[in-house]
């Protein structure tokens, strides 16, 4: 299976704190993406980082990518209660036609 893994599986923090989630994957990739899923809903794309990039920012999100270690991290700064959701990484292999998702991190931000 090409599915990646996120850790931790669950994370609970206070509002205002930073949240860090990690993703490990198995194969060479074209890019890596992070998605958010509210309970019982579809996934929403957050950010994409290409294989030749090491870091990317979007608002309160910061993503890093280490292709030598086949790993990525997502940092959410100054978390809010509305950030409560599950977060998934997805890899797009060189074939470019599939997206393989990790197992997800469930984030709870306590007001």
Partner 1 sequence: SQTIHQWPATLVQPVGSPLSLECTVEGTSNPNLYWYRQAAGRGLQLLFYSVGIGQISSEVPQNLSASRPQDRQFILSSKKLLLSDSGFYLCAWSTGTGNTEAFFGQGTRLTVV
Q: Which of 59, 69, 96, 111 binds partner 1 (CB under 8 A)?
A: 96
- Kindly indicate which of the ranges 13-21, 28-36, 63-71, 77-85 contains the residues binding partner 1, using the contact rule CB under 8 A: 28-36
Residue 18 vs residues 12, 68, 96, 108: alpha-carbon distances, Å:
11, 26, 32, 12
Q: Given the complex with partner 1, which of 35 and 63 has the nearer CB atom? A: 35
Q: Does 33 bind partner 1 (CB under 8 A)?
A: yes
What is the pattern of x (binds partner 1, CB under 8 A) and - over residues 34-63? -x----xxxxxx--x-x-------------
- Ranges of beta strands (E only) in 15-81 are 19-24, 31-37, 43-50, 55-58, 61-66, 71-76
From the CB of 39, what's the least distance to partner 1, in Å? 11
Round to whole Å and give the CA distance between 82 and 92. Answer: 28
Round to whole Å and give the CA distance between 51 and 66. Answer: 9
> Do 109 and 81 meet the contact criterion of CB atoms below 8 Å apart?
yes
Q: Given the complex with partner 1, which of 50 and 54 has the nearer CB atom? A: 50
Q: Does 90 bind partner 1 (CB under 8 A)?
A: yes
Q: Given the complex with partner 1, which of 40 and 59 has the nearer CB atom? A: 40
């Amino acid at each position: 299976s090409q599915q990646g893994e996120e850790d931790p599986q669950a994370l609970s923090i206070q509002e205002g704190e930073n949240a860090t989630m990690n993703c490990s994957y198995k194969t060479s990739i074209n890019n890596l993406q992070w998605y958010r899923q509210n309970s019982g809903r579809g996934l929403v794309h957050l950010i994409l980082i290409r294989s030749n990039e090491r870091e990317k920012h979007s608002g309160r999100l910061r993503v890093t990518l280490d292709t030598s270690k086949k790993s990525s991290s997502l940092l959410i700064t100054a978390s809010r209660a509305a950030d409560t959701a599950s977060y998934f990484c997805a890899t797009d292999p060189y074939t470019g036609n599939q997206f393989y998702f990790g197992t997800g991190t469930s984030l709870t931000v306590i007001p």
